[in-house]
């Protein structure tokens, strides 16, 4: 075991020790103030200052007022957003729970904007980690791989972390070893792709628009937010066509048609929108993992029927919808492949848009196919949709154009 443990990075060990110390300190602070007063009761307390202090402690132990509770809850929500934590230990029973890891936001490098060398001919070997990311123990077939990164996990470890609840355990066990795949809690959270500066920019926008972290948004809330953001950025009202596009995006996020979108889906949508706005395509390409690049190669080669290294513009647009097919529950079999780019199904967003059928859309698409796209162009035009397809949620966090 000592040999296996030595493979982990030293910085991760330091983080775990720091988390344990912080948890111990939090436990000491959570001890009732009455106990502290009882232990100090052996000494005489006759001064007015001590009596006032005791009165303040009793008032604090009785519980904060409603405004203070609301303020503390909002502050905690902003802290979770800043730190990239989607699940808090306080939301679960502390017994038999692991402490969630401390997320470290990425930093931009000087060469990020330079075009990366991603060859079409040179395939990449996909190798998963050998040990569970959480407990660092190897148990072969009991490990569930992430479809985005090389990390692997035990389902029991994920439950103790609080990342598997109710039906999500079945989802992991049924999809992790299929073409559909499952994203771990690192890759499932698109917000973790943002740097500290980008996250600060997003938080300022949310605060200015009165968006409270952790809340669901209705269509009116979503459109009101989009109107405010557009006016702040361009100093003019949003056009009617842009409002219709925002409504379509809301429908794509509200996959269950509940009339509202979940906070995590909204946060993922805003995170990928910010990445698309602030980073050039070359920087986004550097975010792709080997597994994602291999799926992109398979998709391009499937479309390049004559093997000349070019595909049509319509086929490239069609591929954008393919990245999201794996989230449809009726397609959770191992026969589903991200490289399958057949006709768009009737249940896809493109087919339901404006009430048009695929048969009516495809002829118009063929008339607009004078442009051909090579492999680098295919990657550049699809990279943001590949990244947006990372979360396990069935929501479309970036609605592809028809």
Question: Per residue, what are the HEC states of the chain?
Answer: CHHHHCCCCHHHHHHHHHHHHHHHHHHHHCCCHHHHHHHHHHCCCCCHHHHHHHHHHHHHHCCCCHHHHHHHHHHHHHHHHHHCCCCCHHHCCCCCCCCCCCCCCCCCCCCCCCCCCCCCCCCCCCCCCCCECCCCCCCHHHCEECCCCCCEECHHHHHHHCCCCCCHHHHHHHHCCCCCCCCCCCCCCHHHHCCHHHHHHHHHHHHHCCCCCCCCEEHHHHHHHHHHHHHHHHCCCCCHHHHHHHHHHHHHHCCCCCCEECHHHHHHHHHHHHHHHHCCHHHHHCCCCHHHHHHHHHHHHHHCCCCCCEEEHHHHHHHHHHCCHHHCHHHCCCCCCCCCCCCCCCCCHHHHHHHCCHHHHHHHHHCCCCCEEEHHHHHHHHHHHHHHCCCCCCCCCCCCCC
The structural architecture, per CATH, of the domain 190-278 is: Orthogonal Bundle (1.10)
Which residues, 6+ apart, have CB-to-CB distance to 165 below 8 Å? Answer: 159
Q: Which pLDDT score is estimated for 139? A: 80
- Phi, psi torsion values for 28, nearest 5 degrees: -65, -40
User: Per residue of the chain (402 residues), what is the pLDDT tens digit?
Assistant: 333 444 444 445 545 555 555 554 555 454 444 444 444 444 444 444 454 455 445 444 444 444 555 667 777 777 767 766 554 444 444 445 555 566 788 899 888 889 999 999 888 989 999 999 888 888 877 889 999 999 999 888 888 877 776 666 677 777 888 888 899 989 999 999 999 999 999 999 999 999 988 899 999 999 999 999 999 888 899 999 999 999 999 999 998 899 999 999 999 999 999 999 999 999 999 999 999 999 999 999 999 988 889 998 888 888 887 776 644 443 333 333 333 333 333 333 333 334 333 333 344 444 544 688 999 999 999 999 999 999 988 899 998 876
Alpha-carbon distance of 5 to 151, in angstroms, equals 15
**Residue 374, beta-bridge partner list:** 310
- Phi, psi torsion values for 324, nearest 5 degrees: -100, -5
CA 338 vs. chain centroid, Å, equals: 20
76 half-sphere exposure, CB direction, 13 A CA radius: 13
Q: CA torsion, points 390, 394, 398, 402, in degrees to nearest 10?
A: 120
Residue-wise burial string across 66-75, b where 16 or more C-beta atoms lie within 10 A, e elsewhere: eeeeeeeeee
Number of neighbours of residue 133 by Cβ within 10 angstroms:
23
- Domain chopping of the chain, boundaries: 122-188, 190-278, 286-325+371-401
328 to 17, 73, 348: CA distances (angstroms): 41, 35, 9
Q: Which pLDDT score is estimated for 104? A: 82
Is residue 247 within 8 A of residue 224, CB to CB? The reply is: no
Alpha-carbon distance of 139 to 130, in angstroms, equals 9
Is residue 299 within 8 A of residue 365, CB to CB? The reply is: no
Assess if CATH 3.40.50.2300 describes domain 122-188: no
Alpha-carbon distance of 239 to 122, in angstroms, equals 46
Is residue 115 within 8 A of residue 375, CB to CB? The reply is: no
pLDDT, tens only, 124-162:
989 999 999 888 888 877 889 999 999 999 888 888 877
Do the two domains 122-188 and 190-278 of this chain adopt the same fold?
Answer: no
Q: Which pLDDT score is estimated for 110? A: 86
Look at strands 217-218 and 152-153 and give their pairing. Answer: unpaired
C-alpha radius of gyration, the chain, whole number: 25
Q: Which pLDDT score is estimated for 103? A: 77
239 half-sphere exposure, CB direction, 13 A CA radius: 4
Alpha-carbon distance of 213 to 10, in angstroms, equals 33
Q: With both helix axes pointing from N to C terminus, report the angle between 240-253 and 263-278 in degrees, rounded to the nearest 10.
A: 130
Alpha-carbon distance of 346 to 394, in angstroms, equals 16
């Amino acid at each position: 075991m000592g040999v296996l443990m030595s493979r982990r990075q030293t910085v991760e060990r330091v983080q775990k020790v720091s988390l344990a110390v912080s948890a111990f300190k939090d436990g000491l602070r959570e001890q009732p103030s009455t106990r502290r007063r009882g232990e100090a009761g052996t000494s005489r307390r006759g001064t007015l200052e001590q009596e006032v202090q005791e009165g303040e402690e009793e008032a604090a132990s009785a519980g904060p007022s409603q405004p203070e509770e609301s303020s503390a809850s909002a502050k905690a929500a902003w802290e979770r957003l800043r730190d990239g934590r989607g699940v808090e230990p306080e939301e679960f029973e502390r017994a038999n729970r692991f402490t969630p890891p401390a997320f470290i936001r990425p930093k931009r490098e000087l060469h990020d904007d330079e075009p990366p060398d991603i060859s079409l001919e040179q395939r990449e070997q996909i190798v998963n980690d050998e040990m569970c990311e959480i407990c660092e123990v190897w148990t072969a077939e009991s490990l569930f791989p992430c479809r985005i990164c090389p990390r692997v996990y035990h389902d029991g470890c994920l439950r103790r972390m609080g990342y598997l609840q109710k039906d999500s355990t079945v989802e992991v066990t049924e999809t992790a070893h299929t073409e559909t795949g499952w994203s771990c809690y690192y890759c499932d959270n698109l917000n973790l792709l943002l740097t500290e500066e980008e996250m600060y920019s997003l938080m300022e926008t949310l605060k200015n628009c009165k968006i409270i972290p952790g809340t669901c948004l209705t269509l009116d809330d979503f459109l009101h937010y989009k109107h405010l953001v557009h006016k702040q950025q361009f100093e003019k009202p949003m056009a009617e066509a842009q409002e219709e596009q925002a409504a379509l995006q809301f429908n794509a996020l509200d996959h269950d048609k509940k009339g509202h979108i979940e906070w995590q889906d909204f946060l993922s949508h805003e995170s990928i929108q910010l990445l698309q706005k602030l980073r050039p395509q070359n920087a986004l390409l550097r975010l792709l993992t080997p597994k994602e690049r291999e799926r992109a190669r398979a998709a391009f080669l499937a479309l390049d029927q004559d093997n000349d290294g070019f595909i049509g513009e319509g086929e490239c647009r069609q591929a954008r919808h393919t990245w999201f097919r794996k989230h449809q529950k009726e397609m959770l079999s191992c026969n589903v492949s991200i490289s399958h780019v057949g006709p768009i199904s009737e249940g896809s967003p493109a087919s339901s848009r404006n009430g048009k059928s695929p048969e009516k859309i495809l002829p118009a698409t063929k008339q607009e196919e004078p442009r051909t796209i090579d492999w680098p162009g295919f990657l550049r035009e699809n990279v943001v949709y590949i990244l947006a397809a990372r979360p396990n949620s069935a929501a479309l966090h970036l609605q592809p154009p028809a």
